[in-house]
């Protein structure tokens, strides 16, 4: 006996349920979405809380006096050491806040929920923000997207305060990225690195589109990615349970912010494990790389969560997938070409034994894989908010080249930090000038955003 000729309908289970477009079906789908998301997100938050507690428990102790001194003096010292970068942060923040408004087509519906109870029920759940992400049921997966706005809406209804938080997130990304490239290049002495990173990061159309408005989850995704890179680079140099847990926290939150975000957080450990397996076998690689092992498990966690939170309700509703008519569109800029060229050069040098595989190579692999996933799903227009994580890695590559290849010979010829900084700013200005020659620029994007928010 066998099962030849038996046809199995993978969606037969829907026949046992009420039609999705009926009142009972809508109620069932609503209940399923609420319960499934409450369970999964609750588990994620519990894991994050435990990792944070364990990180604090294993943190190196410091005296209260030293801690207070650090908190009191680090800001003053940072502004003193980086006055131009600090001035840039202030000016950029003023520009962001000045143009901020909740008058944006996608934001109006979300914002209306805040005033539904006349500001007397601050900590109620905003149905618009939940429905946008957790009840979309169109095969997308980003349950934690926009939840920073959700929390902000409990504290203040003022959009300009929200924009101030946007600015702080962007400044944090710039600082974390600067510290990461200094570790990756092993060059902490070259002056002006923070200013160079900030200029390259701030004045790109993808950054303008993402941070001068509230409606895109790439802001929080890139912040998690920048934190992941920083703690990962610190873990590779110092080790420690605290750094390991902080890497896992950033990655775990990041994969729930955007459906293809898991690529950013799993490509580097996969590359590390693959290289270690080629040299010493899979068993040894698996044993000697506990952090990479945990990070790779995020692939399975994402798959299960996607099945439960998105695929099952989307199949039941059968309303079709989220679709962009610019799928397979490819618009590259010089920065993407630089990313590809840098990755190829590094691959050749590693193959010839001229340098060793490092975190920067895993990040390049993650950026290229992420860009390809964008190309397959929604297209790759370089100026879109979608490309922000790719732009972050490209800025890191450009800065690593400056710190590792260009700056050291210049420092050997002159001991004037100001001359080195001017040379770095000259190269940065050249890159920004090339950006300005593209069809879509930072200034054009920001101007259109301001116009939309003013006249919507």
Residue 32, SS3 per DSSP: helix
Over residues 244-273, the pLDDT tens digits come to 999 999 999 999 999 999 999 999 999 999
Please count the other Cβ atoms lying within 10 Å of the Cβ belonging to residue 126. Answer: 20
**Mean pLDDT (the chain, rounded):** 88
Mean pLDDT of 128-132: 82
Question: What is the percent of the chain where pLDDT is above 70?
Answer: 89
Over residues 185-208, the pLDDT tens digits come to 998 888 899 999 999 999 999 999
Q: How far is CA 172 from CA 168, 214, 223, 299, 438, in A?
A: 6, 17, 8, 27, 28
Whole-structure pTM value: 0.93
Determine contact, residues 123/150, Cβ cutoff 8 Å.
no
Q: How far is CA 415 from CA 83, 424, 428, in A?
A: 20, 15, 21
Sign of CA dihedral 368, 369, 373, 374: negative
For residue 4, is pLDDT > 60?
no
For residue 456, is pLDDT > 60?
no
Mean pLDDT of 337-346: 96
Please count the other Cβ atoms lying within 10 Å of the Cβ belonging to residue 333. Answer: 22
For residue 172, is pLDDT > 80?
yes
**Between 319 and 186, whose confidence is greater?**
186
Over residues 18-61, the pLDDT tens digits come to 888 899 999 999 999 999 999 999 999 999 999 999 999 988 76
Determine contact, residues 185/400, Cβ cutoff 8 Å.
yes
- Which helix (H) or strand (E) segment holds residue 331: the answer is strand 330-331
DSSP secondary structure string for all residues of 120-170 = S-TTS--HHHHHHHHS--SS---TTTTHHHHHHHHH---HHHHHHHHHHHH
Q: How far is CA 355 from CA 16, 349, 366, 375, 419, in A?
A: 60, 6, 20, 31, 29
CA 401 to chain centre: 22
For residue 289, is pLDDT > 90?
yes
Distance CA 250, CA 258 (A): 13
């Amino acid at each position: 006996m066998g099962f030849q000729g038996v046809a199995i309908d993978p969606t037969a289970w829907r026949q046992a349920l009420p039609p999705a477009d009926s009142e009972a079906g809508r109620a069932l789908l609503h209940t399923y979405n609420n319960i499934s998301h409450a369970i999964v997100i609750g588990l994620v938050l519990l894991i994050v809380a435990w990792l944070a507690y364990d990180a604090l428990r294993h943190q190196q102790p410091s005296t209260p006096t030293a801690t207070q001194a650090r908190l009191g003096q680090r800001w003053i010292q940072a502004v003193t050491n980086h006055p131009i970068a600090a001035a840039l942060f202030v000016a950029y923040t003023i520009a962001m806040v000045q143009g901020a408004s909740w008058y944006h087509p996608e934001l109006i519906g979300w914002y209306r929920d805040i005033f539904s109870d006349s500001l007397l029920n601050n900590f109620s759940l905003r149905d618009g923000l939940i429905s946008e992400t957790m009840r979309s049921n169109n095969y997308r997966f980003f349950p934690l997207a926009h939840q920073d706005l959700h929390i902000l809406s409990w504290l203040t209804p003022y959009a300009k305060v929200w924009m101030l938080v946007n600015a702080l997130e962007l400044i944090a990304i710039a600082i974390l990225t600067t510290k990461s490239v200094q570790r990756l290049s092993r060059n902490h002495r070259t002056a002006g690195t923070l200013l160079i990173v900030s200029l390259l990061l701030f004045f790109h159309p993808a950054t303008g589109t993402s941070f001068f408005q509230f409606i895109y989850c790439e802001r929080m995704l890139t912040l998690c990615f920048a934190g992941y890179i920083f703690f990962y680079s610190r873990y590779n140099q110092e080790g420690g349970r605290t750094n390991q847990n902080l890497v896992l926290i950033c990655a775990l939150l990041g994969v729930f912010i955007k459906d293809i975000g898991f690529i950013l957080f799993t490509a580097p450990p996969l590359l590390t494990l693959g290289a270690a397996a080629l040299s010493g076998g899979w068993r040894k690689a698996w044993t000697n790389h506990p952090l990479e092992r945990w990070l790779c498990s995020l692939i399975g966690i994402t798959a299960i969560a996607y099945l439960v939170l998105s695929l099952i309700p989307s199949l039941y509703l059968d309303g079709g997938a989220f679709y962009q008519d610019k799928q397979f569109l490819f618009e590259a800029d010089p920065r993407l070409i630089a990313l590809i060229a840098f990755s190829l050069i590094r691959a050749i040098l590693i193959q010839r034994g001229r340098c060793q595989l490092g975190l920067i190579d895993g990040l390049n692999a993650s950026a290229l894989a992420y860009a390809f996933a964008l190309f397959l799903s929604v297209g790759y227009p370089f100026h879109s908010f979608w490309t922000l994580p790719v732009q972050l890695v490209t800025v890191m590559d450009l800065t690593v080249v400056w710190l590792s290849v260009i700056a050291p010979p210049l420092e050997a010829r002159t001991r004037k930090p100001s001359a080195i900084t001017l040379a770095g700013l000259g190269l940065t200005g050249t890159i920004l000038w090339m950006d300005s020659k593209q069809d879509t620029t930072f200034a054009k994007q920001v101007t259109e955003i301001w116009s939309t928010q003013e006249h919507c």
